[in-house]
Structure 1
């Protein structure tokens, strides 16, 4: 069971409880599932009971008690434990969950973690006449659209060179009505720094990777082709994943999801939909940038193990590792695309 499927399962449990008359609430459109926090247990936790407590007119722990029987015994779920004020901590059948996760990523490709359809939200992003603000607003718009929102980006001012060098665009330029204040205002780059001198990919990364409240560092370190450069690690991991698929084809075997023991890497891939949703909700593309670094750092030690060595013949284990490598490539390519950064096949 993937995190997306688990979220749907939680919503289905709420719907069943409502249909049975045990809860009187409107079924929400989304249930957030994430790795358990301090004091939690299992593979994932959800605070859906805390979200529903007030409209249900019941304490959160009681709502969690109502929902627990509808989750226990569901295919792929091995246990549900209540902790804290009402968190549902869910343990999964890990082997089946891992195989399902990789299969889901391969099915969705670089759209893994995207919404299936529009969610009805209409969002207006408005930023000052500042390059970093415009880049952050545009990347935030990409993230919001990936989650089903309709988004329009406007800026107080805009320079044509920003499009020709960094590929950034907006929908409108000029002062907005009083009822639309500036709502995207990250700390600008230092006045003497020129992000455009880095080119499109490194320039965008330099502006997007730091949190909005941090002043970005604009320097040649973003261009260095070494592992000390986070952008290089992300793009290198993507290129290695693509190379594994090409080389496997040359050896005559293809990917097939199966059991693998890469816990940290699987956890990072499973967390991708949650990161996309949080980055969109908070207008924080830096969360996605840092998540891609996490995925790359977990993938780089694994990728050299994908292909057979020496006289080895391709086995089911190799096909499972290849499937995981292809999943890594899809997640990194999709994430970089949302940041407006190229994901090269060769590096």
Structure 2
């Protein structure tokens, strides 16, 4: 019996007691089922009696005893003990946990998926670096976490569009073009320009495509370097991210907001809502009406639109495309951005608490031999995505970056994450999957198969280590749900490490394959199902993080 199935059983017991008039309360929409910290207290626990006691006007233990009597009659429950102020500790009947393994294996890739977020249409924007240089280590963290979050939200039933917004308009693009020109002419890069070997590389690619470019007027040169340079840089960004396993559904160009008139339409809509005014020759949005610390300019006194004006148009474009919620992932250096963006959402007529969500992430520091790693081969002092992948591999990089809560700064030890030992967390989890894959291959060589689900003798699974592992497998759907709702992919990684450890302890205590002339029993087959179920969860969990599950290591 899975935790979800037990939730239904407890909910049915509450409904039965209410229906016969023993409890004058409304049946709760959801029942909380948890694993006790002390295994001696049973397989699962619930506080539902405590929640119902006050509205029922009855002592919690009395309510608990009413519900416990109902639950004890269920064939899948061995015992229910009322503890403390009214908690119910539930021990499942022999073999009830074993059904978890059967369910996991038969569900396969869909095991763990739920519909808790079904009906939600989300736009998830992450990375979104300027197309003026390769993806750096900060963007790499968002690539790993953002892609994992998208997979998590989809696993919980949401419809997710991953979107990359590239700022291909504005002063930074002019500086980029001038930097390419300088490199092509062999001149020093402008003081406020972009440095790094990649600038010279792209400049040479532009010249190769347009051989006579340097003989043309400088304003024409700058335009060609801008157009071709941005295209080449962004193509490299997309290739690098794709090699990292991150592909976006939409790549949105800021320039289109200017070229299509979307920016003017967005400002007009805000003006119609009564939140735009003019002062000092500029056009302003009165964001202070919605909690911002100061009003924000939309059009500068020289007539040029601000970056915030483009943000206004972009947000409205997303909502016009039908997204219920706009989710944006930003670095911690953009914390000041939150207030103005919430004010923008409110000025449009949305509820910022419903239609907008901004996630802030901290920095990543790379260390090797205990010392900071700062230099990149191509970008001077900036560490790039490709530098990290070259150092530890894509799997380890993705896992390491997704393993920590985004509100924590990471000191990523390159020595640790490049090892093929159990102190490397991703190796530890992947090795557990490879170990099970090897065991299942050996079983096949002996002529042993899982057989039919209906024939599994789940009642044979009574060993403590078996039950520990089955309970852990049963938690997977709830881990995914909680991680999605809390926007916390790191919870999946930590769970997988715990599951791998639980499997290794099971394997050390419970013989799976027969030795020599040992007889093959129903327990042998049942334990094969437990192993296969563990592999299913490891595989599904790693897939959520965008990490492979090798069958051989």
Question: Normalising by structure 2, what TM-score?
Answer: 0.55
Among candidates 129, 143, 147, match of residue 138 of structure 1: 147
Among candidates 499, 509, 518, match of residue 312 of structure 1: 518
- Which residue of 2 is the match for residue 252 of structure 1? 447
CA RMSD of aligned residues (A): 3.2
Asked if the contact 1:135–1:204 (Cα under 8 Å) also holds between the matched residues in 2, the reply is yes
Shift of 1:196: 3.6
**C-alpha distance 65-148 of structure 1, shift in aligned 2 (>3 A):** farther
Among candidates 416, 441, 444, match of residue 221 of structure 1: 416
Whole-angstrom CA distance in 1 between matches of 2:19 and 2:83: 25
- Which residue of 2 is the match for residue 147 of structure 1? 156
Runs of 5+ in structure 2 lacking a partner?
A: 129-138, 167-233, 255-310, 316-343, 346-354, 366-381, 451-455
Q: List aligned pairs for 1:166-315, cutoff 5 A.
A: 166-172=244-250, 173=252, 175=311, 177=315, 178-179=344-345, 181-190=356-365, 192=383, 194=385, 195-197=388-390, 198-216=392-410, 217=412, 219-255=414-450, 256=456, 257=458, 258-261=460-463, 262=465, 263-303=467-507, 305-315=511-521
Q: Which moved more, 1:336-345 or 1:270-279?
A: 270-279
Question: Normalising by structure 1, what TM-score?
Answer: 0.85
Asked if the contact 1:44–1:91 (Cα under 8 Å) also holds between the matched residues in 2, the reply is yes
Q: Deviation per CA, 1:259-302, whole angstroms, max 9, x where unpaired?
A: 25224323322322222222122111111111111111122354
**C-alpha distance 138-167 of structure 1, shift in aligned 2 (>3 A):** same
Which is higher, the Rg of structure 1 or of structure 2? 2
Q: List aligned pairs for 1:19-168, cutoff 5 A.
A: 19-21=19-21, 22-25=23-26, 27-28=28-29, 30-37=30-37, 41-49=41-49, 56=55, 58=57, 61=60, 64=64, 67-84=67-84, 86-93=86-93, 95-115=94-114, 119-127=118-126, 129=128, 130-154=139-163, 157=166, 159-168=237-246
Asked if the contact 1:128–1:185 (Cα under 8 Å) also holds between the matched residues in 2, the reply is no
Asked if the contact 1:133–1:188 (Cα under 8 Å) also holds between the matched residues in 2, the reply is no
Shift of 1:78: 2.4
Asked if the contact 1:189–1:218 (Cα under 8 Å) also holds between the matched residues in 2, the reply is no
**Structure 1 segments of 4+ aligned residues over 6 angstroms from their partners:** none
Provide the secondary structure at the position in 2 that maps to 1:114.
coil
Asked if the contact 1:127–1:137 (Cα under 8 Å) also holds between the matched residues in 2, the reply is yes
Shift of 1:57: 6.4
Count of residue correspondences:
344
**C-alpha distance 147-38 of structure 1, shift in aligned 2 (>3 A):** same
Provide the secondary structure at the position in 2 that maps to 1:184.
strand
Asked if the contact 2:98–2:470 (Cα under 8 Å) also holds between the matched residues in 1, the reply is no
Whole-angstrom CA distance in 1 between matches of 2:240 and 2:469: 36
Asked if the contact 1:39–1:84 (Cα under 8 Å) also holds between the matched residues in 2, the reply is no
Whole-angstrom CA distance in 1 between matches of 2:147 and 2:59: 38
Asked if the contact 1:306–1:321 (Cα under 8 Å) also holds between the matched residues in 2, the reply is yes
**C-alpha distance 81-144 of structure 1, shift in aligned 2 (>3 A):** farther
Shift of 1:85: 5.1
Q: Deviation per CA, 1:6-35, whole angstroms, max 9, x where unpaired?
A: 12212222333443353442541x433121
